[in-house]
Structure 1
Amino acid sequence: MTSFEKFHPVLTAHLTLDWLTQTPVKAIDDLFSKPTITTAKAEKMPTQILDTVKAINHIMGRVMNDKELTWGITDSNSDAFVGIISLRGFEDRSPSGSIEFIIDQNYRADLAEVVERAVRFSQDHFAFSQLSITFSDASAQTNKELGGLGFESNQANTFTIQL
């Protein structure tokens, strides 16, 4: 498998996905106190800045050990920190991976763009046959956006796309 260290930055039309270490810790910590759109596994957010630092170190350790890909999402025009997105499922060499994210509610319009890029990135670089996204409670708008990208809701709050 290719080392994950070279998979940054990743660009979309309006966003830059780069290592969390490229974003000030305060910006990441601030995200956790804002209203967000988040997947079920991304809901466990630190409540103290030192816990945020520990979480970033843990995530980057997993990235450097090829166990997950996690990027901070920044608006390419304003440099505003928008959120975090991860590709997971590398540890067990399963044909199924998952996408996890937390995105500032004020940047809801960027949700489809960043998810679409994560799907395309997965298709270009990995052998996953499907990707899934699981929410605690998916809104009707999120359901519509994911459906527009080709995801199907196969059970409550879980969406899957065949690659």
Structure 2
Amino acid sequence: MSSFEGYHPLLTPQFRFDWLTQFRLKQVAAVTDQDLAETAEWINTTMHQTMSRNALTWGIERRATHRLVGWGGFHTVDLPAHKGQAYLSGQTLPASEQQEIVDRLVNFAREELQLTVLTLKDSQNLDDAVVAAAGFEQDAHQNWRWSQH
């Protein structure tokens, strides 16, 4: 695959992961807390990185309400080295919903991208127990790292 184009939408029982371009600009701006021009530029840059296979970002929508709750994916993807840096930003969600999203990201990284090492960036709005349950371990510097054993 020359781009990550086919990697959307992804569904979980409660959420839909889709390209940021699939959401209304005002909706994305409200969640990112930016003005419309900044949001449009950010979406354009993010989608360019995704289509260049350097990063992979989805908007995350609650399926029942069609409300964007955040965005996440992989800040960096190094396919030849089988490494990536995962993240999740936006609203702080209940632990059960966080688990559904984090588990989907880990499974996608392992099964679709064949990544064997993941680090987790910006985990402040994630419950530590959720991250640990998904297989991440904290190192001496308090960074979360997942590796396929």
Using the alignment, how far apart are the partners of 1:132 and 1:91 within structure 2? 12
State the secondary structure of the residue aligned to 1:99. strand
How many equivalent pairs are there?
147
By how many angstroms is 1:27 displaced?
1.1
Letter in 2 for 1:133: L
Structure 1: runs of 5+ lacking an equivalent: 34-46
Show structure 1 runs of 4+ deviating over 6 A: none
Alignment match, 2:145? 160
How large is the Cα RMSD of the aligned pairs?
2.0
2:6 matched residue in structure 1: 6
**Larger RCO of the pair (alpha carbons < 8 Å, separation 6+):** 1
Deviation at 1:143, TM superposition (A): 1.1
Aligned counterpart for 1:143 among listed residues 117, 120, 128? 128
Partner AA of 1:122 in structure 2: A
Q: 1:103 aligns with which of 81, 84, 90?
A: 90
Cα offsets for 1:85-132 (capped at 9, x unmatched):
122433573332110221312x34422211110110111112321111
CA distance, structure 1, for counterparts of residue 67 and residue 90 of structure 2: 12
Q: Could you tell me the TM-score, scaled by structure 2's length?
A: 0.87
Q: Is the 8 A contact 2:55 2:75 kept in 1?
A: yes
* Secondary structure of 1:8's aligned partner: coil
Identity score, percent:
25
Structure 2: which 5+ residue stretches go unaligned? none
1:54 is the counterpart of 2:54 = no
Q: Is the 8 A contact 2:86 2:118 kept in 1?
A: yes
Q: Residue 84 of structure 1: SS of its match in structure 2?
A: strand
Distance 1:92 1:127, change over 3 A: closer
> Aligned partner of 1:5: which letter?
E
TM-score, with structure 1 as normaliser: 0.81
